[in-house]
A and B are shown apart, each in its own frame.
Chain A
C-alpha cells in the first residue's frame, strides 16, 4: 500500500480535517447483554457470560441503543438504513473479550447527514458520512514500569466497560481549521446532550474524538497524506492538537519532505503530537457479517415516531432564544450548549426578566454544577425558584452576594429562596427605622470617625458603613446605610 504521497511544494496550504467521534451511550444496559451500565464498581463486577465472551454465550441487540442511534441519525439529517447489519472486526487484544469487536461495517444504521455550524464564513454544512453502532472494549492497566505496556511486569484488565454501546459518528473531510473543528465538536456534543443519549464527557472518555488531518496547496482538490491524531480529551485540546499538527505538517511540506501516513498521539503535557504507529500496511481485520445477529430492520413507523419525538435541537433553540428574548449571543450559546434552556424558559415564564435569568444560569448555576461535577442540566432547581430569587434581588430583599448564598442553599435542597432567606436570616435590612438605631449606636461608638466626616473628610464614612455592616452580619442595605449616615452627620 502507498503510505505517502508527494505533494508539490507550495507557499500556502489549506488544512483538510475530518473528525471521528465515539459516543458512549447512557443506556440502562450494555449493547448485547443485560449488564447494568453504571460507573464505578469493583473491576469486572459489571460483567456476565456474554460481555466476558464466555464460550457459548451469544449477543442480543439492545433496542434502546438502536433507538439512540436512529435519534442521532435523524438529528443529523441522516438516512436511516431500512436494513443494516453487524460485522465482526477480528484482532487479538486482551481487553477485547472475544478477540473480535462487533461493529457495523459496510451497511451502517445512519448514512449521509450533515451538521451545520456557524463559522467566520457564515453557516457551514459539514457532511456526516455515517453513524454506526459498536461495542466498547474493556480497559487494560499495566503494572510496574511507567504505566505503559513497555516495561510493565504484568497487566490487569477490567471488563466493566466491555460491551457498553458506542456510536461512532464520522464526518466528511469538510472542516478547514481548528476553530471549525472545535465548533463542530461542541455542536455535536450539544445535540447529543439535547437528545439525552449520552453524558458526552470528553474528559472522562464517554465522548472521544480522533482527528484526521492533511494539508494541500490552496486551490487543489486532491487530498494530501492524512495523519490521524488521537487522545484529545477536551474541546480545547482538540483545537490545540489540530493547530500543532497543521503547523507540523506545514513545516514538513515546506522543507520538501513528504508527510508520513500514521497515527499520532496528542500529549497534553508537552502539547505535541508524536508517532503512535505507522501504517506500513492496512490492518486486516477480516471483517465478515456476524452470524450470531440478524440485520437491524427498524420499522418505518418507528423511525417516523422517533423523528416526531425529537426534542428541539440546539441550533433551532438558539435561533428561537435569540429572536424572542433579545439575549446576547454569548448567553444564547451557553443556554443552548448546556441544556439549561428549558430552565431558562421556565424561569421567564415564572416572571424573571430574561437577561437576569440568563445571567444567573450562565454564571452561578453553571459554576455551581462545575464545582459539584454534575451536568448543568441536572441541577436541582426549578424555574419558579430561579424567578423567585431574581425577584428577591430586584425588590432589594437580597443583595447580589446574599442571593448567591441563598442559591447555594436552594441547590443544596434547603427549600425555596424566600424560605431559605428567612430561615437563615439573610434578608437584607432595608427598613430605615430598624437601621437608624444601629446607625446611631455606631456613630456613638466611633465618635472620632464621625467627627472626621463632620469635618469634611468624606472618606472616613467607609469605616462607619463597615461597622454597620458588621453589626448586621452584612444584612444591612449598604446604600440605605450610606444615606442614613450622610443625613445624620451632615446636620
Chain B
C-alpha cells in the first residue's frame, strides 16, 4: 500500500483520502519516510519540515472527521523551493547569505497552499538565488538526478523536480526565470510549468530578475500540475505585476484532445546546433504523435529567438544586481564585521555570495552603468520586444508552439561548472517564452539513448495555459510513459521492502 501512496499522484491521493481509505497523516508519514530513506543520496531538500507536515496532516484529518470543508489540496504533500518565504522557517535561497534567515511573513503562494490545506514537507534545494542550470550552485551542495545519481537534476528548481521524480512528494513548487522549472523538469522526467508572467503572485518570491521570475507547478502528470496551478494562480494585490483575474480553472479543458488545434513546430529550435540527435528524435516523435492525434502541424519561425539568450543575460543580471543589493549585513542575514559600515557590507557580500551570483551582479552592474546602459540594457529590451512580436505572429497562425525543452539530457555533475557559457546554453529554448512573458511547460516525451528523460516544450500565448495543458495531456495520454526513474545508477524506486518505516534514517536537517 505505501508504494502506491507514493506513486499514485495528487488527485488519486485526494480521492483516497476523501474516501477514507487512507489518512493525511499516513500519506504525510509515507512521504517523510521516503525522504528519510532517499535524501542522503538525492539531496533534494535543504530542510525537511516533518513536525509541521505531520501537524498539518493531523489537522486535515480531524477537520475531515468533523465534516468541515477542506481545500483542494487537503493532505497532499508539496515540496517548496527554498526561494519562497515561510514565516519563521529558515529560507536560504541556496545561499550562505541567508543560511540562518527566518522570514517574517509567508509568500502569497505559501498562504494559498496553506489555505488549500496542502502539507508542505520541506524546502527544496536550488541554485543560489535561482542562478544556474544544474543546482550545483547551491551553497549547500548539489542535488542529484534520480535517474542517474551521478548526474545533475537540472536547475535552478532541481531540488523540486528531483523530489517529484523520486516520489518524495507528488507535487512541488518551483520558480522559472529563464527555464528554471522547465529544464530540470525535462532532465528529471516530470511535468514543469512556467505560467504566464503575472498569473502567480511573486510576493514572497525572493527576486532574481523581477520582470521574468514566475512561480510554477511541478508534478508527475499534467493533470496534477494543472490542479496545483489552479491553487496558486490568480490575482494578488500585494504584487503590482499580478494580472487582475480570478484563480484559473483548467479541469474542463484538460481531456479535450488536440483535434482541430494548430501546433506550430519552431524550425529554429530543431535546427539548433548543439541539440542532441537523440533528444531531437524523441521530440520529433512526440510532435508526430500530436499530428496523428489530429492536430494540424505547421512550421513556424521565431526569427529573433536566437538573440534571446544574450538579451536575457543582460536583462536578468541587470535586475539581479539591483535586487541583490539589499543583502548587505545591515538588517538580516549574514554579517561579517568590518572597521566601517562600508567594509562590513563589502566583506559580507564577499563571503555570502557564491561565484555565479557575483558574476551576474558584476555583469548587471556593468550593463546598467552610465555610458553602457543604452548599448546593453536598452538594446536587450528591444530584442525582448522583437521576441514578443515573433510570438504574436506565430500565434496568429497556431494555438501552441512546440520544440525541445533543453538541448540535452541530464549531464554529469561537474561537467559544465567550469564553463558558464555551456551552462547558460541549457536555457536556449526556454528563454524566449520567458522574455515574452508567455506560458510554457515541459512534458516527458521518452528517454534518450542512455535511458535519460527527454522533455518536449509546449509554448502558448499569454494566459493560454488551458490549451497548453490540453496539448500536453493528449501527448502524455498517448505516450503512457512510466515516470519511475530506472537505470543502473538510478535511485531505488519505492517498493514494499521500504514499507515498514522502522528502517527509516533520521530526517536530516540541512543545513
Instruction: For A292, give its contact among B104, B107, B210, B237 (CB under 8 Å).
Output: B210
Q: Mark B63-96, 1 if CB is under 8 A from A, else 0.
A: 0000000000000000000001100000101000
Instruction: Find chain A residues with CB under 8 A from B103 CB.
Output: 49, 54-56
Contact between A55 and B98, CB atoms less than 8 A apart: yes
Question: Cα distance A152–B104 when bound, in Å?
Answer: 31
Q: Mark B103-115, 1 if CB is under 8 A from A, else 0.
A: 1110100000000
Instruction: For A56, give its contact among B203, B237, B327, B328 (CB under 8 Å).
Output: B203
Would you call B4 an interface residue if the criterion is a C-beta within 8 Å of the partner chain's C-beta atoms? no
From B237, which residue of chain A is reached at the shortest CB distance? A60
Q: Mark B186-229, 1 if CB is under 8 A from A, else 0.
A: 00000000000000001111110111000000000000000000
Would you call B469 an interface residue if the criterion is a C-beta within 8 Å of the partner chain's C-beta atoms? no
Would you call B53 an interface residue if the criterion is a C-beta within 8 Å of the partner chain's C-beta atoms? no
Q: Mark B318-330, 1 if CB is under 8 A from A, else 0.
A: 1101100111101
Contact between A55 and B368, CB atoms less than 8 A apart: no
Contact between B240 and A53, CB atoms less than 8 A apart: no
Q: Measured between C-beta atoms, what is the minimum distance from B332 to chain A in Å?
A: 7
Question: Cα distance A57–B203 when bound, in Å?
Answer: 6
Q: Give 9 new A-B contacts, CB below 8 A, not counting A55-B91, A56-B204, A94-B328.
A: A55-B101, A55-B103, A56-B85, A56-B202, A92-B325, A92-B345, A98-B326, A99-B328, A286-B322
24 residue pairs from A and B, CB less than 8 Å apart:
A49-B104, A53-B326, A54-B105, A55-B93, A55-B98, A55-B206, A55-B207, A55-B332, A56-B85, A56-B205, A58-B240, A60-B240, A90-B325, A92-B328, A97-B331, A157-B330, A286-B322, A286-B369, A287-B373, A288-B318, A288-B368, A291-B209, A291-B210, A291-B241
Q: Mark A90-130, 1 if CB is under 8 A from B, else 0.
A: 10101001111000000000000000000000000000000
From B333, which residue of chain A is reached at the shortest CB distance? A55
Q: Measured between C-beta atoms, what is the minimum distance from B355 to chain A in Å?
A: 21
Question: Cα distance A94–B335 when bound, in Å?
Answer: 13
Known: A56-B205, A60-B240, A292-B240. A100 touches B325 (CB 8 A): yes
Residue numbers of A with Cβ under 8 A of B are 49, 52-61, 88, 90, 92, 94, 97-100, 155, 157, 282, 284, 286-288, 291-294
Instruction: Find chain A residues with CB under 8 A from B202 CB.
Output: 56, 58
Instruction: Find chain B residues with CB under 8 A from A49 CB.
Output: 103-105
Question: Cα distance A293–B207 when bound, in Å?
Answer: 14
From A281, which residue of chain B is reached at the shortest CB distance? B370
From B97, which residue of chain A is reached at the shortest CB distance? A55
From B210, which residue of chain A is reached at the shortest CB distance? A291
Q: Measured between C-beta atoms, what is the minimum distance from A354 to chain B in Å?
A: 51
Instruction: Find chain B residues with CB under 8 A from A53 CB.
Output: 326, 331
Contact between A90 and B240, CB atoms less than 8 A apart: no
Instruction: Find chain A residues with CB under 8 A from B342 CB.
Output: 92
Question: Cα distance A157–B332 when bound, in Å?
Answer: 13
Question: Cα distance A387–B155 when bound, in Å?
Answer: 78
Total number of B residues with any Cβ neighbor in A under 8 Å: 44
Which of A49, A55, A97, A155 lies at the interface centre, i.e. has the most chain B CB atoms within 10 A of its CB? A55
Contact between B238 and A88, CB atoms less than 8 A apart: no
Q: Measured between C-beta atoms, what is the minimum distance from B222 to chain A in Å?
A: 29
Q: Measured between C-beta atoms, what is the minimum distance from A43 to chain B in Å?
A: 13
Would you call B341 an interface residue if the criterion is a C-beta within 8 Å of the partner chain's C-beta atoms? yes
Q: Mark B326-356, 1 if CB is under 8 A from A, else 0.
A: 1110111000000001100100000000000
Q: Is the interface of B mostly helix, strand, loop or mixed?
A: loop
Instruction: For B322, give its contact among A55, A282, A284, A288 (CB under 8 Å).
Output: A288
Question: Cα distance A53–B103 when bound, in Å?
Answer: 12
Contact between A90 and B322, CB atoms less than 8 A apart: yes
Instruction: Find chain A residues with CB under 8 A from B368 CB.
Output: 90, 286-288
**Residues 346-379 of B at the A interface (beta carbon under 8 Å):** 365, 368-370, 373, 377
From A95, which residue of chain B is reached at the shortest CB distance? B330
Contact between B241 and A55, CB atoms less than 8 A apart: no
Known: A49-B105, A55-B101, A56-B107. A88 touches B322 (CB 8 A): yes
Would you call B239 an interface residue if the criterion is a C-beta within 8 Å of the partner chain's C-beta atoms? yes
Instruction: Find chain B residues with CB under 8 A from A94 CB.
Output: 328, 330, 341, 345
Contact between A56 and B84, CB atoms less than 8 A apart: yes
Question: Cα distance A335–B429 when bound, in Å?
Answer: 69
Question: Cα distance A54–B332 when bound, in Å?
Answer: 8
Instruction: Find chain B residues with CB under 8 A from A293 CB.
Output: 240-241
Which of A98, A282, A292 lies at the interface centre, i.e. has the most chain B CB atoms within 10 A of its CB? A292
Instruction: For B241, give its contact among A52, A284, A287, A292 (CB under 8 Å).
Output: A292
Contact between B240 and A54, CB atoms less than 8 A apart: no
Q: Measured between C-beta atoms, what is the minimum distance from A179 to chain B in Å?
A: 38
Instruction: Find chain A residues with CB under 8 A from B319 CB.
Output: 288, 291
Q: Measured between C-beta atoms, what is the minimum distance from A338 to chain B in Å?
A: 39
Instruction: Find chain B residues with CB under 8 A from A92 CB.
Output: 325, 328, 342, 345
Instruction: Find chain A residues with CB under 8 A from B210 CB.
Output: 291-292
Q: Measured between C-beta atoms, what is the minimum distance from A168 to chain B in Å?
A: 21
Q: Measured between C-beta atoms, what is the minimum distance from B212 to chain A in Å?
A: 8
Which of A57, A100, A157 lies at the interface centre, i.e. has the most chain B CB atoms within 10 A of its CB? A57
From A50, which residue of chain B is reached at the shortest CB distance? B238
Known: A53-B331, A55-B93, A56-B85. A294 touches B240 (CB 8 A): yes
Instruction: Find chain A residues with CB under 8 A from B341 CB.
Output: 94, 155
Q: Mark B377-420, 1 if CB is under 8 A from A, else 0.
A: 10000000000000000000000000000000000000000000
Contact between A97 and B326, CB atoms less than 8 A apart: yes
A-B pairs, top 4 by smallest CB distance, nearest first, are A99-B325, A291-B211, A286-B368, A291-B210
Q: Measured between C-beta atoms, what is the minimum distance from A165 to chain B in Å?
A: 16
Question: Cα distance A59–B203 when bound, in Å?
Answer: 9
Instruction: Find chain A residues with CB under 8 A from B321 CB.
Output: 90, 286
Contact between A59 and B240, CB atoms less than 8 A apart: yes
From A159, which residue of chain B is reached at the shortest CB distance? B331
Instruction: Find chain A residues with CB under 8 A from B104 CB.
Output: 49, 54
Instruction: For B369, give its contact among A59, A98, A284 (CB under 8 Å).
Output: A284
Question: Cα distance A89–B225 when bound, in Å?
Answer: 39
From B107, which residue of chain A is reached at the shortest CB distance? A56
From A282, which residue of chain B is reached at the shortest CB distance? B370
Instruction: Find chain B residues with CB under 8 A from A99 CB.
Output: 325-326, 328
From A90, which residue of chain B is reached at the shortest CB distance? B322
From B84, which residue of chain A is reached at the shortest CB distance? A56
Instruction: Find chain A residues with CB under 8 A from B240 CB.
Output: 58-61, 292-294
Question: Cα distance A291–B240 when bound, in Å?
Answer: 10
Contact between B373 and A288, CB atoms less than 8 A apart: yes
Instruction: Find chain B residues with CB under 8 A from A294 CB.
Output: 240-241
Q: Measured between C-beta atoms, what is the minimum distance from B247 to chain A in Å?
A: 19
Instruction: Find chain B residues with CB under 8 A from A292 CB.
Output: 207, 210, 240-241
Question: Cα distance A88–B341 when bound, in Å?
Answer: 22
Instruction: Find chain A residues with CB under 8 A from B330 CB.
Output: 94, 157
Instruction: For A58, give its contact among B239, B327, B373 (CB under 8 Å).
Output: B239
Q: Measured between C-beta atoms, what is the minimum distance from B203 to chain A in Å?
A: 5
Question: Cα distance A90–B319 when bound, in Å?
Answer: 11
Instruction: Find chain B residues with CB under 8 A from A52 CB.
Output: 331
Question: Cα distance A98–B321 when bound, in Å?
Answer: 12
From B346, which residue of chain A is reached at the shortest CB distance? A92
Question: Cα distance A183–B114 when bound, in Å?
Answer: 59
Question: Cα distance A54–B93 when bound, in Å?
Answer: 13
Q: Measured between C-beta atoms, what is the minimum distance from A363 to chain B in Å?
A: 50
Question: Cα distance A57–B326 when bound, in Å?
Answer: 11
From A53, which residue of chain B is reached at the shortest CB distance? B326
Question: Cα distance A59–B368 when bound, in Å?
Answer: 22
Question: Cα distance A241–B472 when bound, in Å?
Answer: 71
Instruction: Find chain A residues with CB under 8 A from B98 CB.
Output: 55
